[in-house]
Amino acid sequence: MRKVLLASLAVVAALGFSVSAVTAATAEDGVTSKTITIGATFPLTGPASGYAPIAGGMKAYFSYINARRGADGKRGVGGRQVVFKYYDDGYNPANTVQLTRKLVESDKVFAIVGQLGTEVCLSVRPYLNQAKVPQVFVSTGATQFGTEGKQYPWSIGWQPDYVSEGKIYGDNVAKYQTAEKIGVLYQNDDYGKDYLAGFKAGLGSATSNIVGEQPYEVSAADVKSQVAKLKGSGATVFVIFATPKFTIQSYAIARAVGWRPKQIYVNSVSATDAFMTIASKAAGADIVNGSISVTYLKDPANPKYDADPAMVLYNRLMHKYLPGANAKDQLYLYGFAKADAFVQALSKSGASPTRASFLKAVSTMNSTNAFAQPGVIQKTGVGDRFVISQQRLIRYTNGTWAEVGPLVDGRK
């Protein structure tokens, strides 16, 4: 992925702009008296296309916001319809550079909202900050979007960061699988390395129990050799820090090579009902059952939330705006939750929102999100750019994730 990122920088040069050459657009670009236009890129195709439902979920929620009347009696946000434009970058930063430039310079978007992918978002972060275009609530838990606010004030994340999530897994292994040998599969970029760093921090002295670390490239066809090597290492705990395609493969390949780890941990971004159902069909429920992950959102596949008001609304809107889509796929709900966070911030940006007033609202959040786990707070402030930091452990059994622990703050 580093090679791809370097390629994207070459594209930047070829397209005739550099960070220093960017001319900031006016603060009100994307805003009219009747509309506010935002944009993003998503992997609608390619190795991470499993995340495509996020964009659909965001668009569906914005459709709802545009149709209903808010507390002020107006439709949309402050009487403005939210126009959401997004393009397919195939999870390739080189494409992201071109498409983000199109969104900013041709489509004149007010902000980039929810853009997906660690390397993808990092590839355009300097450009967007130089242009003073908000890059907010990115769909990645990369720590840089929380720790580098002074250098890149116009960029911020939303979900719990990967380091803190990895730390929670490490803490749990150190507590309950003390004597077990550990094998880790991780994506060979900032995404996977963040998880691995957090996991080791949580393990502490138990880091010595890691007997295998196998990286894979996002452009790889499969992870057969990596999983086989982890089996050969004698690992009895299998930790998967991968995107959905490779997570599903990992379960299936483990079965094919006759590996039965005592415990499997799988990162949250690959642990939705939709992906786990596919993994169960590919590898067998006996391997997938018992897997541990974390969550900070409600689960539309869990009957526990069937009567929850936010879930009732979610299911109604899914039926209306995305008929035929799998409403149990938490990635759609993730899109709803992220879109709601944007609406909250925009609502506090003033009657005539500017990019600066919007950034101030994003930087002073203190609210709940109806689609998040009870107790989760969206909070930012001076020195705190990690919007959500609370999450809880969950365990998978026969199609359902059950919450098995209290909310914890992985950053403490």
Write the CB contacts of 172 (distance below 8 Å, at least 6 apart in sequence). Answer: 202, 265, 292, 393
| Euclidean distance between the first and the last CA atom of the chain, given in angstroms as a whole number | 30
> Hunting for tokens 């390395």 — which residue is that?
193
Query: Residue 185, exposed/middle/buried by CB under 10 A (0-12, 13-18, 19+)?
Result: buried
CATH fold of 2-160+308-381 reads Rossmann fold (3.40.50)
125-154 pLDDT, tens digit per residue, is 999 999 999 999 999 999 999 999 999 999
3-state secondary structure of 389: coil
Determine contact, residues 301/400, Cβ cutoff 8 Å.
yes
User: Please, which pLDDT band fits residue 92 given cuts at 50, 70 and 90?
Assistant: very high
Residue limits of CATH 3.40.50.2300 in the chain: 2-160+308-381, 162-295+393-409
Task: State the pairing for strand pair 210-216/182-187.
Answer: parallel
From CA 243, how far away is CA 1, in angstroms rounded? Answer: 13
Alpha helical stretches, state H, 15-67: 53-67
Q: Answer yes or no: is pLDDT of 17 > 50.
A: no
Determine which helix (DSSP H) or strand (DSSP E) holds 211, and give its type and residue range.
Answer: strand 210-216
Other C-beta atoms lying within 10 Å of the C-beta of residue 321: 17
- Position 338 scores a pLDDT of 98
Q: What are the angstrom distances between the C-alpha of 95 and each of 11, 43, 261?
A: 9, 10, 39
Q: Report whether pLDDT(9) > 70.
A: no
Q: What is the pLDDT of residues 244-277, one digit of tens each?
A: 999 999 999 999 999 999 999 999 999 998 899 9
Average pLDDT score over the chain: 93
| Interval 204-228 mean pLDDT | 97
Q: What is the pLDDT of residue 407?
A: 95
Task: Please tell me the predicted confidence (pLDDT) of residue 405.
Answer: 86
- Domain 162-295+393-409 homologous superfamily, CATH: Response regulator (3.40.50.2300)
- Quick one: angle between helices 118-130 and 93-101, nearest 10? 30
390-397 vs 400-403, strand pairing mode: antiparallel
pLDDT at 315: 98
- How many Å apart are CA 405 and CA 390, to the nearest integer? 12
What's the pLDDT at 244?
95
Place of tokens 């909310």: 407
- Between 236 and 7, whose confidence is greater? 236
Q: How confident is the model at residue 28 (pLDDT cuts 50, 70, 90)?
A: confident
- pLDDT at 3 (0 to 100): 44
Confidence of residue 25 (pLDDT cuts 50, 70, 90): very low
Q: Which residues pair with 86 in a beta bridge?
A: 40
